[in-house]
Structure 1
Amino acid sequence: MQGAHRKMSRQLPSIELLQAFLTVAKTENFGKAGESLNLSQSAVSRQVAQLESRMACRLFERHTRKIVVTPEGAALVPVAEQVIGLLSDASSMLGRVGRSVSLRAHPTMAARWLIPRLTAFYQRYPDVSVSVDTVYHRFPDFAFESIDAMFAYGTATWPDYEAMPLWEEALIPVCAPQLLTGTDSQAMLKTARLVDSSMDRLDWRRWDDLYPDTTGGDNGHLTFDTLESAIVATKCGQGVALVDAVLTREELLEQQLIRVHPGSIKTGGRYTLVYPKRVKRSSGFAEFLEWLEREVAEAGFALTRDG
C-alpha cells in the first residue's frame, strides 16, 4: 500500500507545472505566459513539456504563429483552474490573521469613494481587515492572485463572474468659486481654460457635441491623464473640468467646486464590483459584500446584477 502511495505521489503534477500550463492556455503564447509568470519562454516551454510527459498526452499543438489547445488540454483547463483556485484560497486563508478582504481599485475611486466609507465598515466589522491595491490597469487573475474582488470601471459585462454595479458615470462641468467672481457661468465657460482628465480630450469633445456654443470654441486646455489630477487643478482655480458627480460629491456639498451648467454627459462607463463566485460566501468577504450592498442602496444607486 505504501509503495502504491509513493507511485501515485510521483505521478501527480506539481502546481508550478499546472500554473504554467494554465497560463499558456489562456494566453495561447509561450512568450506572453513567460512574462506573466516572470519566467523565460524556454522555461515555460520546458514546464509544459514536463507536464505533457507526466500526463502522457499532448496538451498543445504547436504551430509557427500560434499555439492551439488540444482536446486533452481543454479537458485539463477547468481541473487546473479548480486545483489552483483551491490552493490559492487555502494559502490566503492560512496566511492571514483573522478575517480579511483584499480588493483592487482605481486610485481615484479608492481615495474618493471607497476608503472614506471603510470607517463605517470597521465600526460594524472590527475584526475584518481590508487591503486595497491600485494596480487598476490590470484585471486580477483570481486563480493566481490573492485578490477577492476588483472595483472595475468601463462598459464591460462580466458573464463569468458575479458583478455588482455601483453607479453609472455622469460627468458635469465644475469650477472653483473664484472663477465666477465678477462674471456668470455662461460667460466664464466661453473663455475659461478647459481641464481634461484624459490625454485624448474626449469628454470635452462630447460636451461640445451635446451642448454646442456653450464653450468659446477656442478655449485653452489643461490636460492630465487622471481624473484626480484634473479635480485638484480645478479646485486650484485653473479651469473648468468635467468630473464624475459621485466622486466629487463632497467638494460640491462644501462648495469647493461649483456646477456651472445643468447639462451632463452619460459616458456609458460604470463602476462595478467584480468577483469570482467561489468567494461570495468566504469569511470576511461575505460581510464586506453585505455592507457594500447596504451602502449602495442607501446612496440611491440602482442594484442590478450581472453574472
Structure 2
Amino acid sequence: MFGQLPSLRSIRTFESAARLGSFKEAALELHVSPTAVSHQIRTLEGQLQVKLFERHTRAVVLTADGEKLARVAHQMLRALSDTLNEITHRDAPLTIGTTTAFAAMWLVPHLSEFRSAHPNIDIQVKADDQPVDITTQHQVDLVIRYGIMPDDDPDASLLFRESLQCYAAPAYWQSLLRPAASPASILCTRWKNPALPPVHDQQRLRNLFPNQQPITVREFEEENQIIQAALAGQGIALVSQLLVETPLANGWLVSAPQEPAVSAAAHPFSGLDYYLKIPDRSRTNPAVCQFADWLGRKLSSYQSQSVSDQK
C-alpha cells in the first residue's frame, strides 16, 4: 500500500530544510553535513521527479510543489511525534515565541510553576522583539505577542491588557521630595518593533510631573533595560505592572507616593495588549493546550487583581 513512499529519513530532511529555509541550518538541526542534506533532497526530487527547491547563491526557496509537500510533511511528522509521545507516556516538546522583556521579566520566573505541574513537557522559549511568523516558522508552537490585538484574527486571544504606571527605587522618590531636588528623569520605551504604536509622547510624560519641571526623558529599546535602570536608581520607569511584579514584591521598586510633587504620576494610563496566537497545526498538541490553559488562568487572575488594586 505504501511501497512507493519515500523514506522517512528523506522526508524528515526535506521538512527540516523547508521549515528552516536553509540546507545548512537543517544540517545543524539533524547533526549531519550540508552535503548530506543536499544529497537527500536531490535523491527525493529524483524519486518524485519533482523540483522541490529553487537553488540560489545564498538561499533555497520552496517551489509551489515543495510548499505543498512541506505542509503535509510537517503535519505527518507532528502527528507521528504526538502519537509516539502518547504511547510512550511522554508529553510533546513545546516552543514558545515571545518578546524579550516578557520572557525575562515574567514568563521565565513563573515557568517553574508550570513545570512542576507538567514535568514531562520540555519547554523552550524563543525570545525576539520582532514578531515570529508562525505560518512559516513551524518550529514555534505558539506565540505571545505584544501590541494591539487584531479583532479579525481567529487565531488570537487576549491574555492581558496592561496599564502603565511609574515605578522607582524608594530612595529615588525620596530624592524628588527634597528642596532643590534634581529634575525627575523618566525612563520609557522606544520600540524596536516599528509596528508597535507609541503609548506616550514627550508632553504626556511631562504632564506626569507638573510640579517637577523641567524633567528629562530617557528612552530605551527594551522594557527590561528600563527596569534595570530604575533598580539602579537612575530614574522613574514608565512600565507595565506585569513586568515589575518581582521588584514590587521585594520592595526594590515602588509606585509613586501620594505627595504633591509626584501625585499625578500615581495615576495609570492604558498601554498595549498581550495576546496569544495558536496556529491550527498546534491546536491538537496536548502540551500547547495545557500551557495555554495555565497561562490564561494565570494572567486572568493577575488582571483581576491589578484592576482591584487600582480602585
TM-score norm. by structure 2 comes to 0.64
Matching residue of 1:304: none
- Note the 1:180-191 alignment, pairs <5 A: 180-181=173-174, 183-184=176-177, 191=183
Distance in 2, matches of 1:211 and 1:161, equals 35
Q: 1:54 to 1:216 in 2, by over 3 A?
A: farther
User: Contact between 1:178 and 1:237, CA under 8 Å: does it hold in 2?
Assistant: yes
> What pairs with 1:24-173 in structure 2 (closer than 5 Å)?
25=18, 32-35=22-25, 37-38=27-28, 43-61=36-54, 69-90=62-83, 92-93=85-86, 97=90, 99=91, 102-104=94-96, 105-106=98-99, 108-110=101-103, 112-114=105-107, 126=117, 129-137=120-128, 139=132, 145=139, 148-154=141-147, 162-173=155-166
Mark the runs of 5 or more structure 1 residues left unpaired by the alignment: 302-307
Query: Does the CA-based 8 Å contact 2:169-2:230 persist in structure 1?
Result: yes
1:25–1:77 CA contact under 8 A, matched in 2: yes
Q: Secondary structure at the match of 1:13?
A: coil
* Residue 301 of structure 2: aligned partner: 298
In structure 2, the residue matched to 1:239 is: 235
Q: Secondary structure at the match of 1:238?
A: coil
Identity across the alignment (%): 25
Q: Deviations for 1:254-278, whole angstroms, at most 9, x for unmatched residues? A: 653223515656564x323333434
**Structural RMSD (CA):** 4.7
Name the amino acid aligned to 1:299: Y
Distance 1:247 1:19 in 2: 40
- What do residues 17-69 of structure 1 show as CA deviations (whole Å, max 9, x unaligned)? 33454455567x6xx44235437765544333211101122234557898665
Alpha-carbon distance in structure 2 between the residues aligned to 1:58 and 1:248: 52
SS at match of 1:246: helix
Distance between the aligned counterparts of 1:239 and 1:58, measured in 2?
Answer: 59
Figure out how many residues of one structure are paired with residues of the other and give that number. 282
Correspondence list, 1:225-304, <5 A: 226-249=222-245, 251-252=247-248, 256-259=253-256, 260=262, 261-262=265-266, 268=272, 270-300=273-303
Q: Give the TM-score taking structure 1 as reference length.
A: 0.65
Cα distance, 1:118 vs structure 2: 5.5
